[in-house]
Amino acid sequence: MNNQKAIATPTRTKEILEQYGFSFKKSLGQNFLIDANILENIVRYAGVDERSGAIEIGPGIGALTEQLARNAGRVVAFEIDQRLVPILEETLSSYNNVSVINKDILEADVHEVIKTNFEAGQSLKIVANLPYYITTPILMKLLMERLPVDNITVMIQKEVADRMAASPNTKSYGSLSIAVQYYTEAKVVMNVPKTVFMPQPNVDSAVLQLILRDVPPVQVTDEDFFFSTVQATFGQRRKTLMNNLSRHFKGKLEKDQIRETLTNIAIEPSRRGESLTMEEFAILANAFYEKQKTV
């Protein structure tokens, strides 16, 4: 156990930033956590222990990385900002189980990194305090690549976390909820006030936990078609399925063909996208996939 003072305190964070003359880049959405208790809770929720490997995205000055290094067998962190690499070398110098990769996670071959850095079959967790502006592309990349990880535990903007974990018939439910829940079981495990960040963002955060599914909860004929059809039904939230699908299939299907397809699968054309369950979306997408092939 390492007894040095935690990085995630206001004074220690300020010291490190002043020592290196570091200035925050707005374009990278840099907000560093200054509350070690919250970080310890995130690591606990992620279920990280000495047998686990942990992958972190955007370690910043190493506040969360340090907590991961204290608990995990091995930690690999992706940091896009070259200026932070020497800082991390120093702040994490007392941990020999951490590697920092100076690369954009969106361009990285994560499968290859896992193969190189972790043992085959090792329990892996992704843990991160993600920049708000790029949360969704990062998470969707990680999910669509079907990485061999148990769970993903991330601090993100509260509103986005609520959308990813939302149920049907709620304001937050949309195509993002379906996309995330197709690959995972999603749950908001903790709300985090904006006051525990430096600099302080304008919105509150939440910790979202995604437990990866072995198989999707529904069977779809074509995944791309499924996701684009789901997205279309939320094209204009206040409009009915009939309206949104007519726009989506314009030039491919006539309105009466759309109405007939919906009637055949017992989904009311006057319903709205937000009222459909994942199962209903799968039935709807599969039916329209078949219908398109016959016209």
List, as one string, the DSSP characters of 273-291: GGG--HHHHHHHHHHHHHH
Give the pLDDT score at 71: 97
Average pLDDT of every residue of the chain: 94
Q: Contact 216/201 with Cβ under 8 angstroms?
A: no
- 231 vs 3, higher pLDDT: 231
Answer yes or no: is pLDDT of 265 > 70: yes
Would you list which residues are annotated within the binding site? 31, 33, 58, 79, 104, 129
Q: Contact 225/285 with Cβ under 8 angstroms?
A: yes
Q: Delimit the domains of the chain by residue range.
A: 10-212, 223-294
Q: Which CATH architecture has domain 10-212?
A: 3-Layer(aba) Sandwich (3.40)
| Model confidence band, residue 164 (pLDDT cutoffs 50, 70, 90) | very high
Helical (H) or strand (E) element with 294: helix 278-294
Residue ranges of E strands in the chain:
32-33, 53-57, 74-78, 98-101, 124-129, 151-157, 184-192, 197-198, 205-212
Give the pLDDT score at 1: 45
Q: What is the DSSP letter of 222?
A: -
pTM, to two decimals:
0.93
Position of tokens 């305190």? Answer: 9
CATH 1.10.8.100 fits 223-294, yes or no: yes
Give the tens place of pLDDT for each residue, 42-91.
999 999 999 999 999 999 999 999 999 999 999 999 999 999 999 999 99
Give the pLDDT score at 3: 52
145 CB-contact burial (10 Å; exposed 0-12 / middle 13-18 / buried 19+): exposed
Give the pLDDT score at 32: 87
Would you list which residues are annotated within the binding site for S-adenosyl-L-methionine? 31, 33, 58, 79, 104, 129
Give the pLDDT score at 28: 66
